[in-house]
Chain A
Amino acid sequence: MNPYEVLGVSPQATPEEVKAAYRALARKYNPQGLVGEALTGFAAEKMEQINEAYDAIIFSASQNGGQNWKGSASWFERAQNLVTAGRYSEAEVVLDSVDSASRTAEWYYLKGCVCEGKGWYDDASRAYQNACRMDPSNREFQRASQDLHERTHQYSPYRKGSSAGGDSCSSCDICTGLMCADCMCECCGGDLISCC
């Protein structure tokens, strides 16, 4: 299989073009968020092909020595590509190899994405908060943090209208309340709802 065909780029493509094509395909075929076994199976297979093609192109480039951009690519780009492709454990290895002195707001943001992908939500929330603290002007970090809290809050038993909350007031409750109030008023000689 020709890796260039899989990614849909020409063999003369620049590293940026290859990366852009890979990112677009990874986003398209990310098995997460798809429903149905047939669909996820197909997406996972496609994803595997895309990853293989990408690795093959990068490997041959670094072997030829002409465009050795695998080594020169920053940890940020590598980790970001892996996160986009949903390869969280590999992204984590890349992130953990960064020494603690050079951990920037972006590092914490990507760490948060990796933790979220793994289902480690407490760590994800703390990493996003760190990212926001280090770079308060970045909207993306703030949105990631807010999104995470909003999404989980949908499942909270304290959410309005939650069936497990037990303190919601339905239209039936309102009608029953009015009927009771009317009966009581009539007992005392008055009337609340004149037609009944």
Chain B
Amino acid sequence: MFGYIRLYKPEMTYKDYARYHSLYCGMCQALKRVGGPLARWTLQYDFVFLGALRMLRAGEEFKACNCRCPLNPFKKVNICVSQTQLEASACASLLLAHYQLKDDAEDCGSLKKRLRACLLLPITAGIKRRVAKHGTLKGSEEKIRQALERLHAAEQAGETSLDVAASPFAELVQWVASEGMPPHEAADRLAYHVGRWIYIADAWEDLQEDTQNGAYNPLKGDPQARQRAEFSLNASLMEINRAVAELPESPLQPIFENLALQGLPRMQKFLLEGGHPSHIIKRKDRIHESL
């Protein structure tokens, strides 16, 4: 359900992009510290976003060093060294990856996915033990399990309301962004609606496949699926834009602005026109043609 959160680089200043990239590198390090070297392969922009939101909320100062990346030692890169909040996000990312694989291994229609899940499970189980030992983001395991159970229950009930179906996931994203933080209404709303947006975008993207396989999808069988998905995505974009305008001043704020005004709307347009999120990178030139 991930890979939808992308910033739109051409509209970023170099400074903001460098900051974002150093957060990405910092996240990679945080993953290693929380889950061991193999955990680096689960690195995703979505959780960089959650880590950045936690940093902004906690008022953690952004610091970066210019050092060598262990995976590419010949090149010096900027790496964010203020990692307390990134580690919390890394923890959630690793646990979620484990439980999703477990889910796939138990009841996934596609044989290829199931085989892959079975092969990877022992590795992620080891990572999960390390995460538990590390001890950041208390209670996350329980929360993630509960959210996945609620998602399952909605699937079993054949829920057709996008909001009811999306709320367990959206609430989980909100929890990851807010656990152990001082209350902040706008940041909560931002995280909730980013989660809701991701769920609906994913539901729309999988619609065709799910209809063919007979799998659950809240949009299935609705002749107006596209309009409904588009309306709900726009509604979440509206809430995201409003919430971003209320975020506290921070050097990280332009990143959220770019996401709300450029990154998410572009991804949404791309998905509604039938694209796959992983292609947005490959189709760089097409996406950038408006420059």
Contact = CB atoms under 8 A, between A and B. Distances in A.
A166 B273 CA distance: 14
B231 interface: yes
Interface string B213-255: 0000000000000001011101111110100000000000000
Which of B162, B189, B265, B268 is the most central at the interface, judged by chain A CB atoms within 10 Å of its CB? B265
Nearest to B232: A122
A153 interface: yes
Contacts of B239: 119
Interface stretch (A8-16, A48-56, A87-95, A155-163): A155-163
A125 interface: yes
Contacts of A153: 234
B131 to A, nearest CB: 31
Interface in A118-163: 119-123, 125-126, 149, 151-158, 162-163
A164 B238 contact: no
A115 B241 CA distance: 19
A109 B237 CA distance: 24
B193 interface: yes
B234 A156 contact: yes
Classify the secondary structure of A's interface with B. loop
A158 B239 CA distance: 17
B102 interface: no
B163 interface: yes
Contact of A119 (B193, B289, B290): B193
A165 interface: yes
Interface in A69-116: 115
Contact of B161 (A126, A155, A157): A126
Contacts of B161: 122-123, 126
Interface of B: 8, 11, 161-164, 167, 189, 192-193, 196, 228, 230-232, 234-239, 241, 261-262, 265-266, 268-269, 289-290
22 contacts: A119-B189, A119-B192, A120-B163, A121-B163, A121-B231, A121-B232, A121-B235, A121-B236, A122-B161, A122-B231, A123-B163, A123-B164, A152-B231, A155-B241, A157-B266, A157-B269, A158-B269, A163-B11, A164-B8, A164-B262, A164-B266, A165-B269
